[in-house]
Amino acid sequence: MNKKIKIFDTTLRDGEQSPGCSMNLKEKVQMAKQLERMQVDIIEAGFAISSPGDFTSVRTVAETIKESVVASLARTTKEDIDRAWEAVSVAAQPRIHTFIATSPIHMEYKLNLTPDQVVEQAAAMVKYAKKYCGDIEFSAEDATRSDPAFLARIFSEVIKAGATTINIPDTVGYTTPDEFYDFLIKIRELCPPLDHVDISVHCHNDLGLGVANSLAAIKAGAVQVETTINGIGERAGNAAMEELVMALATRRDIYKAETNIITTEIMRASKLLTTITGVKVQPNKAIVGENAFAHEAGIHQHGVLKNKETYEIMTPESVGLTKNSMVLGKHSGKHALRSKAKELGFDLTEEALERAFNKFKEIADKKKRIYDGDIEALLSKEALQVPRTYQMKSFVINSGNSITSTAVVEVIKEDKTIEKVARGDGPIDAAFQAIGKIVGRNLKLEDYQLHSVSEGIDALGDAFVKITSNGKSYAGRGLSTDVIEASIHAYVNAVNKMIYEENKTNGV
């Protein structure tokens, strides 16, 4: 019988804290729902004490998710554990994940604690957390640069205090597969109580070995692996979930292990994350990259046409990759859009579906062919919609190569029309300056991207905007066959997300 490997996903915690990957509340909830849909065993929803916004997100994810365990990270202090429990106690299956560093360099320079103090604090805080929650994970930060005998000692103490999962992270991405395998076998020998709890690993990717190290750990007895979608995370990221899951599924003959993950949901999870963060995966990225299943060389194409297995070790369908087929047209009704939304896994309110349908009709009038990708872009935008404090009403742009661009933008706020004029460095900048004047705040443009969703001259433009205000980033998206209109929608969407997020954090 194959052994079962639990997937602990930390996209919303370790992933989210990496540069450019921040998400707002609504986005985290959508991402968590997708993780639940793909049957992730444990979702680490955030680090509750780190900010009021993080606390609200962990708590909302905990309220929403029913099938997966929901965890919050906490340092080994009472304040952290209290806050983590306050956030996850509402979950159907809560977990407190507490950690302290165990390597000599971290204990001396970061914690300023002796090894004895670290053991004492870890055991006391696991015991404290256990009063709240049966499911306690303990992590020894920087474990791979720690003394195995010291790890065995601290693990014995925290297991005695009630830890049910022991996580052994390669925090700095330093180890290698052979070394990690031997290291884990040694710790297991030195610490027999590990046989009675779940052994977990959490591998960073600084040497590009995150997945390889996790696979070696499975061979050494790990039954939980911590991953992120698209491998996002601190520095070079974390082990990528899609790679680990597909390696186990494809090489079951070697690992004799399997996960609960519905692999056909992988592509959707990857795309949703890209849509939310604007952080694209490289085209040649394993499993989810644009070229992962493309066969360019003639000799390869020839082979694949005759027998797919000549060059394909797994099928595109197994990771949820479908052809960009033409699906709906100008004459399709709301019912067809609703069933398409269902088929694509979007969980939309009636109001969001209505908005998506109106937009769909608008696009169908301008565009000859509507592809799956267009519908997916439209639906994912509506699924992530926040209250529309500002709505774009109209715009006029005056631009050329011998004049300074000018934009007149009209928006509606609480039934009132507000109009502002601004000049800028090109039409997009002018339009963004005009919106900035309307909002009356100092907004900094951090990122702006424009892509076409499908092919052809009438392709849908998908604009992505990231703005910063008071040190926080907010991302927005806009879709239109007109790229300036898409960009204005994206900017207004980012402003609305900023207002929504600020209101939520202030309890408005």
Residues that bind ligand KIV (CB under 6 A): 14, 99, 139, 141, 167, 169, 171, 202, 204
- Using alpha carbons, list the distances in angstroms from residue 504 to 88, 103, 259, 294, 508: 18, 39, 36, 43, 6
Report the distance separating Cα 259 and Cα 245, nearest Å: 7
Which residue number, 279 or 321, has a Cβ lying nearer to Zn ion? 279
Place of tokens 């202090």: 77
Report which residue type is found at 237: G
Report the distance separating Cα 356 and Cα 492, nearest Å: 17
Report the distance separating Cα 104 and Cα 93, nearest Å: 35
**Which of the choices ligand KIV, Zn ion, none does residue 141 contact, using the CB cut-off of 5 to 8 A by kind?**
ligand KIV
**Which of the choices ligand KIV, Zn ion, none does residue 99 contact, using the CB cut-off of 5 to 8 A by kind?**
ligand KIV
Smallest gap, in angstroms, from Cβ of residue 352 to Zn ion?
Answer: 34
Smallest gap, in angstroms, from Cβ of residue 84 to Zn ion?
Answer: 16
DSSP-derived secondary structure for 291-338: TTT---SHHHHHHHHH-GGGT-SS-GGGGT-----EEE-TT--HHHHH
How is residue 183 written in tokens? Answer: 């290291």
Torsion sign over Cα 50, 18, 280, 312? negative
Which residue number, 61 or 319, has a Cβ lying nearer to ligand KIV? 61
**Which of the choices Zn ion, ligand KIV, none does residue 367 contact, using the CB cut-off of 5 to 8 A by kind?**
none
Smallest gap, in angstroms, from Cβ of residue 100 to ligand KIV?
Answer: 9
**Residue ranges in 12-51 that form contacts with Zn ion under rule CB under 5 A:** 14
Which residue number, 142 or 382, has a Cβ lying nearer to ligand KIV? 142
Instruction: From 412, 410, 430, 411, select the one nearest 422 (Cα to Cα).
Output: 430
**Which of the choices ligand KIV, Zn ion, none does residue 139 contact, using the CB cut-off of 5 to 8 A by kind?**
ligand KIV
Which residue number, 202 or 466, has a Cβ lying nearer to ligand KIV? 202
Which residue number, 80 or 501, has a Cβ lying nearer to Zn ion? 80
Smallest gap, in angstroms, from Cβ of residue 278 to Zn ion?
Answer: 22
Report the distance separating Cα 494 and Cα 439, nearest Å: 12
Smallest gap, in angstroms, from Cβ of residue 204 to Zn ion?
Answer: 6
**Which of the choices ligand KIV, Zn ion, none does residue 137 contact, using the CB cut-off of 5 to 8 A by kind?**
none
Q: How crowded is residue 184: how many other Cβ atoms within 10 Å of its Cβ?
A: 25
Smallest gap, in angstroms, from Cβ of residue 363 to Zn ion?
Answer: 41
Q: How big is the CA angle at 251 (ends 239 and 321), to the nearest 5 degrees?
A: 70
**Which of the choices Zn ion, ligand KIV, none does residue 373 contact, using the CB cut-off of 5 to 8 A by kind?**
none
Q: Phi and psi (nearest 5°) for 407?
A: -130, 140
Query: Exposure of 402 by Cβ count < 10 A (0-12 exposed, 13-18 middle, 19+ buried)?
Result: exposed
- Using alpha carbons, list the distances in angstroms from residue 203 to 4, 125, 210, 212, 396: 19, 24, 5, 9, 51
Smallest gap, in angstroms, from Cβ of residue 204 to ligand KIV?
Answer: 6
Which residue number, 80 or 141, has a Cβ lying nearer to ligand KIV? 141
Place of tokens 């010291």: 150
Options 10-18, 64-72, 137-145, 271-279: segment touching Zn ion (CB under 5 A):
10-18
Which residue number, 229 or 370, has a Cβ lying nearer to ligand KIV? 229
Q: Is 94 helix (H, G, I), strand (E, B) or coil?
A: strand
Smallest gap, in angstroms, from Cβ of residue 295 to Zn ion?
Answer: 36
Smallest gap, in angstroms, from Cβ of residue 20 to ligand KIV?
Answer: 18
**Would you count residue 141 as binding Zn ion (CB under 5 A)?**
no
How is residue 274 written in tokens? Answer: 């890209």
Which residues have a Cβ under 8 Å from the Cβ of 15 and sit 6 or more positions away? 21, 228, 229, 232, 233, 237, 238
How is residue 444 written in tokens? Answer: 């900094």
Smallest gap, in angstroms, from Cβ of residue 387 to ligand KIV?
Answer: 34
Report the distance separating Cα 227 and Cα 13, nearest Å: 11
Number of residues that bind Zn ion (CB under 5 A): 1
- Write each residue from 355 to 394 as x if it is in contact with Zn ion (CB under 5 A), else as -, in one continuous string: ----------------------------------------
**Which of the choices Zn ion, ligand KIV, none does residue 135 contact, using the CB cut-off of 5 to 8 A by kind?**
none
Smallest gap, in angstroms, from Cβ of residue 228 to ligand KIV?
Answer: 10
Nearest residue (beta carbon) to Zn ion: 14
Which residue number, 99 or 150, has a Cβ lying nearer to ligand KIV? 99
Which residues have a Cβ under 8 Å from the Cβ of 161 and sit 6 or more positions away? 123, 124, 126, 127, 130
Which residue number, 56 or 139, has a Cβ lying nearer to ligand KIV? 139
- DSSP summary character for residue 281: P
Report the distance separating Cα 443 and Cα 474, nearest Å: 10
Which residue number, 150 or 432, has a Cβ lying nearer to ligand KIV? 150
Which residue number, 167 or 214, has a Cβ lying nearer to ligand KIV? 167
Which residue number, 100 or 430, has a Cβ lying nearer to ligand KIV? 100
Smallest gap, in angstroms, from Cβ of residue 261 to ligand KIV?
Answer: 21
Options 7-15, 137-145, 366-374, 473-481: segment touching Zn ion (CB under 5 A):
7-15
Interaction site with Zn ion (CB under 5 A): 14
